[in-house]
Every structure is written in C-alpha cells, then in structure tokens.
Amino acid sequence: MSAPWRSAAASLDLATAVCAALNLAYFLHRMAPGRFEETVARRVGALALALVSLGALVESLAFLASAPAWLLASPTWTLARVLPFVGTAFISILILRRLTADRE
C-alpha cells in the first residue's frame, strides 16, 4: 500500500516544482528591465509572486531529494502536498490564460 502513496506524493511535488518554475519565469519576465508598461506596484507584486514561486520550487525539490521513504508513503503526507500543488497549478492556469489571451 505504501508504494502508491509514495508515487502520489512524489508526483505532486514534481508537478508543484514544474508549475512553480513556470510561475517564477513568468514573474521574473514581468519584472524585466525595459517593460515600461508595468507600474511600480505591479513590479512589486511580481517580485512578491516570484519569491513565493521560488519558495514553492525549492520546497518541492527539497522534499523530493530528502524526504524519507516512510514519510512519502503516508496518506497524510500526500494529502498535505495537495494544497501547494493546487495553489501553484491555479497560478499557472491564470498565467497560461493570460498568455493565450495576449496572442489573440
């Protein structure tokens, strides 16, 4: 029974890391020099969201690299990893929606 939970927890952390990396790249791009349409408030907001994304990325990769197998194999751990994934995935969806809307 522990192998499915371990796989689920690792998959959630990997998906969280991918979403957080996408989010981080987008928010760093929003802060890039030469983007004159961005106000100071928007740049500060992008910085805050970039830091949150960086934190989610580092956290997920750290858990993947160092969490003991018995911890990853627990249903409690897997359920605890759902919320960071949902948060980063939701932000990624909003970013992708914005990027596709800009192309139209």
Task: DSSP for 41-97, please give it.
Answer: HHHHHHHHHHHHHHHHHHHHHHHHHH--HHHHTSHHHHHHHHHHHHHHHHHHHHHHH
User: How confident is the model at residue 2, as a pLDDT?
Assistant: 65
Mean pLDDT in order along the chain per 10 residues (104 residues): 77 95 95 78 92 96 82 80 95 95 80
User: How confident is the model at residue 23, as a pLDDT?
Assistant: 98
Containing structural domain, residue 81: 2-103
Number of separate domains in the chain: 1
User: How confident is the model at residue 1, as a pLDDT?
Assistant: 45
